[in-house]
A = this chain, B = another copy of it.
Amino acid sequence: MLHQWHGTIDLIRRALAEDEAAADATSGLLPAGMRGTAIMLAKQNGVIAGVEVGLAVFREVDLDVAWFASLDDGTRVEAGQHIVTIKGRLASILRAERTALNFVQRMSGIATATRAYVDEIAGTNAALIDTRKTLPGLRLLDKYSVRMGGGRNHRMSLADGVLIKDNHIAAAATIRETIADLVARARATAPHTVRIEVECDTLEQVRQSVEADADIVMLDNMSIEIMREAVSMCAGRVLTEASGGVTLAAVRTIAETGVDFVSAGAITHSVQALDISLDVTPDGAGA
């Protein structure tokens, strides 16, 4: 699915530039013509994502690179499993190696963590969603990786949904405006294709949001009991999203309150890279 990555080529170029791949002081020690085979290998169990981004790194360094037998993104892997085989000039492969792995390890790390959350809430009504707590420049890849782990995406950007947060509510209050006023103004001015969500800390705010005909309420840092009550206030009328304190340990209990969505910042802001390595064999080795 390399055709999807049209937006990432600049990012790949910047990554190679900051690694000064074109001025690599080591790979030039090898004969220019030497070719080899590299196997990208999982060293941990997890879910793979970003294989084709990784391949695009190799091809940006050297168009004359071929690959075979890749697993599709979203597949579970076990330690020791081959992910993809790459063939080409050895010096090019070694130049691109670290940059390629930096992409694939993060993306697979996100997919793996997401999958753990998604599995944990299997059977409940809730869907696991991400946040805008992604890394600068990596939003598109981070959110793609969440989908590969079985999660869904919250808004891509500030333009993709109205989300009235505590700070907006507090600001409006200083000019004696209520949640209802803000929702009404959003309804009158925002693109009609986006929904209006209100971040609520209290049941009173939930009540106001429901009455204001908000589309979604975010139940922020509520206790499980309060959250359950909030869900029942909204039931059938307004979608509910649980947010705050969403750890892997807590997520099932939260999901069982009946919320429609649980959003987890940690799956993108605190990523454990999946351990993946590149085993390289020069052509002719072992002969």
Which residue numbers of A lie inside 8 Å of B, CB to CB? 1-8, 10-32, 34, 36, 60-64, 89-90, 92, 94-95, 97-99, 101-103, 105-106, 109, 127, 129, 132-140, 143, 152-165, 167-168, 170-175, 182, 185-186, 189-195, 197, 216, 239, 241, 260-261, 269-273, 278, 280-285, 287
Contacts and interface: CB of A to CB of B under 8 A. Distances in A.
A241 to B, nearest CB: 7
Given A23-B143, A135-B138, 7 more contacts: A10-B13, A24-B159, A152-B189, A152-B191, A156-B159, A156-B191, A160-B191
A28 B189 contact: yes
A20 to B, nearest CB: 4
A153 B1 CA distance: 32
Contacts of A90: 167, 171
A18 B140 contact: yes
25 contacts: A1-B32, A2-B63, A19-B158, A20-B159, A23-B157, A24-B158, A25-B191, A25-B194, A29-B164, A29-B189, A94-B168, A98-B158, A102-B134, A106-B269, A109-B270, A136-B138, A137-B137, A152-B192, A154-B191, A154-B192, A154-B193, A192-B239, A192-B260, A192-B261, A270-B272
A189 B19 CA distance: 20
Contacts of A163: 26, 193
Q: Which 5 A-B pairs have the closest CB atoms?
A: A161-B193, A15-B136, A3-B62, A20-B157, A24-B158
A136 B105 contact: no
Contacts of A155: 191, 193-194
Number of copies: 6
A155 B160 CA distance: 8
A136 B53 CA distance: 12
A158 B26 contact: yes
B158 A25 contact: yes
A273 B36 CA distance: 38
Given A29-B168, A63-B3, A136-B12, A174 B282 contact: yes
Contacts of A160: 20, 25, 159-160, 191, 193-194
A159 to B, nearest CB: 4
